[in-house]
Structure formats: structure tokens, C-alpha cells
Amino acid sequence: MVAPFAARVVIEALEAAGFEAWIVGGWVRDALRGESGHDIDVTSNALWQESARVLSNAGYEVLLSGIAHGTITAIVADEPIEVTTYRVEGTYSDHRHPDEVRFVQDVREDLVRRDLTFNAMAWHPTRGLLDPFGGAQDLAAGIVRVVGEPQKRFEEDALRIIRAVRFSLRLGFVVEPRTQRALEVCAPSLAEVASERLGKELDAIVRMGKAGCGLMDQPEVMCAAIPELAPSRGFDQRSVYHVYDVYEHIAHVCNAVEAFTAGLAPAELRWAALLHDVAKPMTYSEDADGHGHFFDHPRQGAIVAREVMRRLAIPHELVDAACVLIRWHDERMPATEPAIRRMLARLYAACPGREVPLAFELFDLRRADAVSKCASAASWASELDKYARLLRAEVARGPVFATRHLAVSGADVMRTCGVAPGPAVGMQLEMLLRAVMAGELPNDRELLVAWLAGSL
């Protein structure tokens, strides 16, 4: 392990002034795994005022980035290094924030407040690794373990629950039994976590492509984090087209999306997979033969998904894209050019400028949905190749699904039809667009002008 230059400079400056300093957190964990860390955090027994004075005197820019928590940021060789005073935390009356923060002189006291053993290590360029809780051993064994008594740590700050799950999914680690029992017992307390903090953790899980694994490995936690998913657990679809309950189907769709995109699915596709059937339990009905149906679940699902994602403070553009995929994921359409154009028009109306990539993502979502049903329904996934070929051909020609794509303009309409600027021009263009989208007219200027002149 070789400390980055900027971190070494900060540590050397502080220790030359008589203080002690260590690198802590994610950099230590990732370096032990042979990965390069991004954000580098230093902790020291110097108070933030002392750290700021020492580093400023050494000629480095210092930002008072979090002095309420004892943190300043030094800019060294254009790299920000956060420096935080050793601290301990008091009780958590609201299960979210410590009632008291005290600065201390022993780094071990600082490490004991951290959540997981492999996040509670410190490293020094000359003193080496300080690992009081066996974090390196847990890293090597692939184990997620809480520092101290698991239930107590989760009750202090419920965000640690979803963080533990995120790390287990990101690293592919197993949660050790005591920590796992505490996760399940404490999962309901996620309701006390601020939606924005919870959303940040969930978004990270989804963007990693691990939502499906999270659903299957940690159902109590995932359903506490997104309560709208809870009714789908064990919900029998009573359909010959499905071999899984709604919850299991959703998990399989999430995993299938990763397979069809080689693990490169965009964030909106991953969110759409997670929430595409969220409205199934509320739209369930049975026919006279006892077969289950979920009429209108895509439209209702898009409404629920928008509420969920907005509550979690997911970016608006991501919400819009995911919801339009959910809205149209179950549509049955003929394999024709007009159907492709209608689909592009719908996507354009919801997310202008993103209609083409969203169309390909919609086919990936439908493929994933198909292979996550019964064996006979899975064959529909290969049928979607026809639609993809039609879409590629349409894109190559130049897709026509808005009046701006027509080979004629409003000026052509006014000149040919002898009308003044106004609604009549737009009506004529809309009529032409419908004819072109339906395949009744080619998007050819001469033919469109002839049609306007009434000579066709």
C-alpha cells in the first residue's frame, strides 16, 4: 500500500507540527483489495482550527468544509483531502443524529464509532495498518460485519442498515449471521431515515445493477426501504404465463436486464426494472376461471413509481425516463414501421431528445420481462429482435414522429394552400404527419406538396 502524494503531504505537515494523523475509510478498504480509492480522508488529533492553521502555513488552500463536525479540506496538487478531528458520538435519540459529538485524542476511539469492520481501519505511511476490529480479515473472508453489537449500532443510525446491504452487494460479500439477524429486526426503522439519504443509498444499489440480488438476498430491508414493493412478496399471479410470484418476477427481471445489456444498463432502465410491476397487487382481478389479471398495471405502475422516486429525491430526468419505460413495458404492438413510429412519438412526448435510446431500452425491458415468465412466454424475447431491426432501419432513414421531421414546413403549407399563419397551418402539418407515420405517404417533399395541393 502506497499512500497518495497529497495524503502523505498532509500527514507529514500535521505530524511535523506535533500532531498525529492517519488515512481512514474507503481508501484503506479499497487499497487492501487492490483497488484505487477516490476520496481520501485523513483523521488527526489536531482540532480543525489547528489543522487549518498548519496546512495554511504550509502554503495549501484550506476550505472550512464541515467545521461543525471538525472537518476541513486541504487542496494539495489540485486534490482535495478531508481532514477530520478524532471524535466520538453520544446517544442517538432520533435514531439518525448523535446527540453529542466530542473530540478525542485516541484514533481507536474514533474507529469504534464506525459502522463496518472494514470501514474501521486506519493506515499510516510508516506505522502501517491499524485494524482493531479485524476488518482486513473480514475483507479477505468476504464477510460484512458490524463494529460492536449489531442491533445497537443499527438502532443508533438506521442508515447503517442500507449501507451494510449496499456494501454486501457491491463487494459480493456474505453478511455474518448476527449482523444479518439485526438487519432483519431493525429494517422497519428505515422509515425514520431522511428520504434523501435513503434514496442516495438505493440509487447506488440500483446503479450498480444489484437491485435483483438485493431483492432476493435482503427482502426485509428492500421492502422497508421501498414499502410499495412489500405487497408483491408472495403475491400469486395465478397465471399460466408466470412461474414466479410478483416479487420474485421483479427480481428476475432486474437480473435479466443486466444479462441483456452485459451489465451496462442505463440507470433509468434499472429503476424501471425494479418498479415495473409495483402496481400489480393493487390492480389484481380474477376471471370466472380463477385466472389472475392485472389490467392497467403499467399506467398505475408509472404513477406509483413516480411517487416513489420523487420521495427518494431521484433526479427528475431519471424519473421521467424510468416512468415512461414502465408505462409502455407491457404494450403489445405489431411489428410494423407505423407501430415503431407511434412508439417513438410517445417516448418523445415524455422525454424529448431521448426517444431513440429509450426505445432500445424499452425492448431490453420487454425481453427481460419475457424471460422472467414461463418457458413459453420466454420465446417472446427473440421475437423482439424483429422490432429492434425495424427500429434500427427507421433510425437509419431518419425517424418521422414529429412535425419537425416532415420534409415540408409551415411555409410550404401557407404557400401551397394559400393560408395565413395560424392554427390551420399546424392542422395541415399534423394531417401530413399522421399520414406519413401510418405509411400512407412517404416523407418526400414533392409528394407531400402535391398532397397539400390536392393533386394526389
User: The cell 414466479 sits on which residue?
Assistant: 244
Which has more pLDDT, 368 or 453?
368
Q: How many CA atoms lie within 13 A of 226 on its CB side?
A: 31
pLDDT, the chain, mean: 93
Q: Does the pLDDT of residue 101 top 90, yes or no?
A: no
Q: In this structure, are strands 87-89 and 292-293 parallel, antiparallel, or unpaired?
A: unpaired
pLDDT tens profile 249-266: 999 999 999 999 999 999
Q: Give the pLDDT confidence score for residue 380 in this predicted structure.
A: 85
Q: How far apart are CA 102 and CA 206, in angstroms?
A: 36
Q: How far does the chain reach from its first CA to its final CA, in angstroms?
A: 77
pLDDT tens profile 125-167: 999 999 999 999 999 999 999 999 999 999 999 999 999 999 9
Q: Give the pLDDT confidence score for residue 370 in this predicted structure.
A: 95
Sequence letter at residue 27 = W
* 155-180 average pLDDT score: 96
All cell numbers assigned to 139: 475483507
Q: How far apart are CA 125 and CA 12, in angstroms?
A: 10
Main-chain phi, psi angles of 410, to 5 degrees: -60, -35
Q: Does the pLDDT of residue 376 top 90, yes or no?
A: no
Confidence of residue 199 (pLDDT cuts 50, 70, 90): very high
pTM of the prediction? 0.91
- Residue 454 CB coordination number (10 Å): 8
Q: How far apart are CA 195 and CA 183, in angstroms?
A: 19
Q: How far apart are CA 215 and CA 203, in angstroms?
A: 14
Q: Does the pLDDT of residue 439 top 80, yes or no?
A: yes
Max alpha carbon distance in the chain (Å)? 93
Q: Give the pLDDT confidence score for residue 456 in this predicted structure.
A: 47
Q: How many angstroms separate the Cα of 412 from the Cα of each of 55, 297, 420?
A: 69, 44, 11
Say if CB 51 and CB 14 are below 8 A apart: yes
Q: Give the pLDDT confidence score for residue 288 in this predicted structure.
A: 94
Q: Does the pLDDT of residue 316 top 80, yes or no?
A: yes
Q: How far apart are CA 221 and CA 161, in angstroms?
A: 8
Q: Report the chain's C-alpha Rg in angstroms.
A: 29
Pick the closest to residue 135 from 176, 106, 185, 101 (CA basis). Answer: 176
Write the burial class of residue 455 (CB in 10 Å: 0-12 exposed, 13-18 middle, 19+ buried): exposed
All cell numbers assigned to 439: 405509411
Domains and CATH numbers, the chain: 5-141 (3.30.460.10), 155-225 (1.10.110), 230-401 (1.10.3210), 403-452 (1.10.246.80)
Say if CB 306 and CB 319 are below 8 A apart: yes
